[in-house]
Structure 1
Amino acid sequence: MSINKTPANRVYTYIAQRGIVSRAELMKEFAMTSSSMTRLLEEMIADNRLQERGFGSSTGGRRPILYETNPTYGYLFGLEISRIYSSMGLYDMHMNRLSAIRWTMDETMSPDVFMNRVHDAVRQFAEEHGLEQANIIGMGVGAVGPLDRERGLILDPVYFPAQGWHNLPICELLEDRLGFPVLLDNGANTALVGEHWALRSESYQHMLYVHVGAGLRSAVMSNGQLVYGATDMEGAIGRMIIQAGNPLQPGSSMDGALESIVSVHSIENGARSFDQLLQALAAGDTVVREKFRQAAAYLGIGLANLINVLHPEQVILGGALINAHDSVFETAVEVATSHTYYYPQYKPLFSKGLLKEDAVAAGAAVMVLKQLPQKNLT
């Protein structure tokens, strides 16, 4: 999909990210003449893209007019496609969530069934909020990788309970069904985009996100931008070698890679389901507690390796294993911190994020907000 790089798009995105800005701030940020900036702001107000938000403090002259984006200028959908569950949210242009829905990804959730669920939910949300097709800017999708983002394909995901998800042209299928633009990225990236947006007042530039669920997924942000490799690297953290001496055999339960020790599937290991293990953990089963503690400790080692290379300011952990028990997060952080180079002079902040389980879908919607399609901002 063609992405607009006009001054209007850049100014709009800048205001959207910062919330409320003055004309003077915009003049410092963009190489435009005073008359050009004034004309652009007037045009964007006339088109309902922007609205005035009162006056700022005076520095000796007239109080400056403040501007913000119009929350009802358009609406965004954010869709998460994951192995255990998927979810979708409807957001306005201020990223206020208006409606949401979640589906369990069981063996019946084929792509066709899933498309029908998404289509029905989009239609339901539009009817509930009185939206026309022209009101919808687009949909962002955060999906389990590996992906081909440019071609909008879900390539070869593992652990999906239903068939048919391989080499799936998800963007094309959704656009045909829904009639508006769709953007794709892996779920770890969109989760990090969502959390970065939620924390934008803190101005973090270097962040690490790690999701520990059926597998391990991670995303990295440097200088406020996502870091991409030559191929989709969402699951690369799972291939980090923690135990040397074992042959690298993806899918093996004992190949020395982090994912073979730290993931929902490694915890289950054919003995009991994850839900059963959670019940035993809550009941104080000492054997199960040790199983989770060991997984958390190895996760801490993996985090330390990443931290010592990437040096993030903020480390956000999410996923079913992290949320299984407070001790998992605490142990992982303790081990990671104890192995962090140059600690305590360098001390990254650890958290479970602000958006938590909503991060993937919300971040997917933010992705659309930051890459508005050309037909909407010309």
Structure 2
Amino acid sequence: MLPHPNASLKKQVYDRISYLGTASKADLLNDFALTSSSMTRLLDEMSSQGLIIASGLGTSKGGRKPILFQCNPAYRYLFGLEISRIHSSLGLYDMHFNLLSMTRWTMDDSMTPPLLADHVADCARALLAEHGISPGSVLGMGIGAVGPLNSERGIILEPEHFPAASWTNVPICEMLKERLDLPVKLDNGANCALIGEHRALKSSNYQHILYVHAGTTIRFAMISGGHIVRGASGAEGALGQMIIQTNGPRLHGKGNYGALEAFVSVPALEERVRTQLKIGRSSVLAEISPERVTFASLTEALGHGDKLVTEQFTESSAYLGIGLANLINTLHPECVVLGGPLIRAHQLVFDTSVEVARKNTYPSPENSPFFTQGQLKEEAVATGAAIMLLNDWYVE
């Protein structure tokens, strides 16, 4: 990934060193139109600021071994926050994006926006105290949240399916900035997850990656040419409205008929299993009221090999594969990362959806992407949010 052309020169060099992990002056001169003496002065200045540190010597190509530089992991620290419908999490990271600590909590019907903001602030202070880090050493907090959003204004607009009330037009960045006195930046969770996974997969040098999150809704993000592809709106969940069966059902009487979310999402899966239980299907879940069936109980039953639940997960996974094939045939990614609660529920989900996607992808050598559940998994959104914040950090 080459530096962003609009960033300051120092920030571009910093970002390049950060991406490479370690870099010599010669490595950097390959990427920047600077003289050797100008690069030396810049690296000396960055070293004196504590932005970068020497990390050893590289391999000699004739003459002295070159000094290798890396970003100083302890120069500052970053928070990454995921706000989702089922669980949310807060991570504390150093400048190498090493996770120092993470806390995770359930988003129940009591978790209103003010309560969440208070909880995040309390958790952030506790994490800093745990590691002996002063608040002044923190660059800020990145947030990856369920959309739709107004990222520029830092507002969560009108997300659906939150257990608690009042999640409409929430100025989440302002709320957290007031409580923590830190810069706060917002983007949608799918973008953040992809930013995190893209960095984790950097050794593969993928430039075109598709990320699909299957959970309460179906969300996706795309990197092309090494950069996030952004549309005119923050409606990351629009993928769930892809029509895969013209005479199909609607989810809870909303959206398109036969939309992907009516077959694949967590609410759709819960609803189908409840219906099957009501008509008398045999299952370990038959001992409880159908209305008390939740995604947690479904994943537990799936782990025990329950026939009904396995059948329904398999069906959802197959429909997800159809949706993936449609995306792959349109976008032609090199790599497809699958994440979210539905994917993490059981290996069956990943394997079935990938198998169906491959069978329905237009055959060509260039249209056979690598499928993965990613490296970061549950940490992807929070980690990507921290990376997003650092990407926009201005180095003086």
Superposition TM-score, scaled by structure 1 size = 0.95
- Measure the CA separation in 2 of the matches of 1:284 and 1:119: 41
Give how far 1:275 is off. 2.3
Matched-pair contact (CA < 8 Å) for 1:50–1:68: yes
The verdict on how the C-alpha distance between 1:241 and 1:127 changes in structure 2, with shifts beyond 3 A counting, is: same
Give how far 1:345 is off. 5.5
- Measure the CA separation in 1 of the matches of 2:30 and 2:191: 30
Structure 1 equivalent of residue 285 of structure 2:
none
Give how far 1:342 is off. 2.1
Name the SS of the counterpart of 2:60 in structure 1.
coil
Letter matched to residue 342 of structure 2: L
Name the SS of the counterpart of 1:115 in structure 2.
helix
Matched-pair contact (CA < 8 Å) for 1:217–1:236: yes
Structure 2 equivalent of residue 318 of structure 1:
339
Structure 2 equivalent of residue 222 of structure 1:
224
Residues 281-296 of structure 1: pairs in structure 2 closer than 5 A: 281-296=302-317
Give how far 1:187 is off. 0.5
Give how far 1:251 is off. 4.8
Which residue of 119, 127, 130 corresponds with 2:129?
Answer: 127
Letter matched to residue 333 of structure 2: P
- Measure the CA separation in 2 of the matches of 1:104 and 1:159: 14
- Measure the CA separation in 1 of the matches of 2:6 and 2:365: 44
- Measure the CA separation in 2 of the matches of 1:7 and 1:325: 46
Residues 87-126 of structure 1: pairs in structure 2 closer than 5 A: 87-126=89-128
- Measure the CA separation in 2 of the matches of 1:278 and 1:369: 36
Residues 1-378 of structure 1: pairs in structure 2 closer than 5 A: 5-245=7-247, 251-252=253-254, 255-269=257-271, 271=274, 272-343=293-364, 346-372=367-393, 374=394, 377-378=395-396
Matched-pair contact (CA < 8 Å) for 1:253–1:266: no
- Measure the CA separation in 1 of the matches of 2:356 and 2:371: 12
Matched-pair contact (CA < 8 Å) for 1:252–1:260: no
- Measure the CA separation in 1 of the matches of 2:241 and 2:90: 29
Letter matched to residue 45 of structure 1: S
**Shift >3 Å, 4+ stretches:** 245-254, 343-346
Q: How much identity, in percent, do the aligned residues show?
A: 54
Letter matched to residue 380 of structure 2: A
What residue ranges of structure 2 are gaps of 5+ in the alignment?
275-292
- Measure the CA separation in 1 of the matches of 2:366 and 2:149: 38
1:207-256 Cα deviation digits (max 9, x unpaired): 01111111111111101111000001311210111011459888538821
1:332-368 Cα deviation digits (max 9, x unpaired): 0000001111245632111111100110001101111
- Measure the CA separation in 1 of the matches of 2:191 and 2:128: 27
Deviates more, 1:318-327 or 1:251-260: 251-260
Matched-pair contact (CA < 8 Å) for 1:159–1:214: yes
Letter matched to residue 95 of structure 1: F
Q: Counting helix residues as a fraction of each chain, which structure ranks higher? A: 2
Name the SS of the counterpart of 1:176 in structure 2.
helix
Matched-pair contact (CA < 8 Å) for 2:81–2:144: yes
- Cα RMSD between the aligned structures? 1.8
1:185-224 Cα deviation digits (max 9, x unpaired): 1001100100111111211111011111111111111011
Matched-pair contact (CA < 8 Å) for 1:15–1:68: yes
Give how far 1:42 is off. 0.4
Name the SS of the counterpart of 2:310 in structure 1.
helix
Give how far 1:129 is off. 1.6
The verdict on how the C-alpha distance between 1:35 and 1:253 changes in structure 2, with shifts beyond 3 A counting, is: closer
The verdict on how the C-alpha distance between 1:176 and 1:355 changes in structure 2, with shifts beyond 3 A counting, is: same
Q: Which has the higher contact order (CA 8 A, sep 6+)?
A: 1
Letter matched to residue 178 of structure 1: L
Deviates more, 1:118-127 or 1:79-88: 118-127
Matched-pair contact (CA < 8 Å) for 1:91–1:99: yes
Matched-pair contact (CA < 8 Å) for 2:241–2:256: no
What residue ranges of structure 1 are gaps of 5+ in the alignment?
none
Give how far 1:33 is off. 2.5
Give how far 1:58 is off. 1.2
- Measure the CA separation in 1 of the matches of 2:132 and 2:80: 18
